[in-house]
């Protein structure tokens, strides 16, 4: 059964950005947290909590439907697979994303898209993130 990324322990997040750095380095081969599929942000204010902006793993992803060159294809169980070689950097996927979590690399113009791999979960020291089986109910 497919698993998708969730943030069940978001109230334990201290904003260390380990998840972002892991995603950037392991998946996108970058040292910049800007090149991470997961984005952790403060909710605002000096003593606020954090929010994780993550792909929700749509069963019928609008981003894949918007991709005219099939660089994004639906992944069984939710989310997408990304073929960077096919991508023409048109930006249609980012506009179509229902949760607005797709952003683009400045250098390449390619989208930074979560592939539901779980790399970020292994580096979170407070177990904020988890790969959970999709609830089909």
Phi-psi domain of 74 (left: phi exceeds 0; alpha: psi -120 through 50; beta: other): beta
| H helix intervals, 70-137 | 92-96, 119-123
Residue-range definition of the domain harbouring residue 15: 3-133
pLDDT of amino acid 2: 82
pTM of the full predicted structure?
0.86
Based on the structure, what is the number of domains in the chain?
Answer: 1
**87, 92, 79, 77: which is closest to 135 by C-alpha?**
77
pLDDT of amino acid 40: 95
| Residue 35 belongs to domain with CATH number | 3.30.70.20
pLDDT of amino acid 95: 97
pLDDT of amino acid 137: 43
Could you list the pLDDT tens digit for every one of the 137 residues in the chain? 689 999 999 999 999 999 999 999 999 999 999 999 999 999 887 778 899 999 999 999 999 999 999 999 999 889 999 999 999 999 999 999 999 999 999 888 999 999 999 999 999 999 999 999 976 54
The backbone torsions φ and ψ at residue 100, rounded to the nearest 5 degrees and listed phi first, read 55, 45
Residue 78's Cβ-count burial label (10 Å; 0-12, 13-18, 19+) is: buried
pLDDT of amino acid 136: 58
pLDDT of amino acid 88: 97
**27, 29, 37: which is closest to 129 by C-alpha?**
37
User: Could you give the CA distance from residue 132 to residue 121 in angstroms, rounded to a whole number?
Assistant: 11
């Amino acid at each position: 059964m497919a698993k998708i990324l969730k943030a069940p322990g978001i109230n334990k997040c201290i904003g260390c950005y380990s998840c972002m750095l892991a995603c950037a380095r392991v998946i996108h081969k970058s040292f910049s947290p800007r090149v991470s599929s997961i984005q952790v942000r403060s909710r605002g204010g000096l003593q606020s909590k954090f929010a994780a902006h993550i792909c929700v793993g749509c069963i019928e992803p609008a981003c894949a439907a918007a991709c005219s060159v099939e660089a994004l294809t639906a992944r069984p169980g939710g989310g997408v697979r990304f073929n960077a070689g096919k991508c023409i950097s048109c930006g249609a996927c980012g506009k179509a994303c229902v949760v607005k979590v797709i952003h683009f690399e400045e250098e390449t113009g390619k989208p930074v898209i979560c592939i539901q791999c779980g790399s970020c979960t292994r580096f979170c020291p407070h177990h904020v993130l988890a790969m959970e089986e999709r609830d089909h109910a």
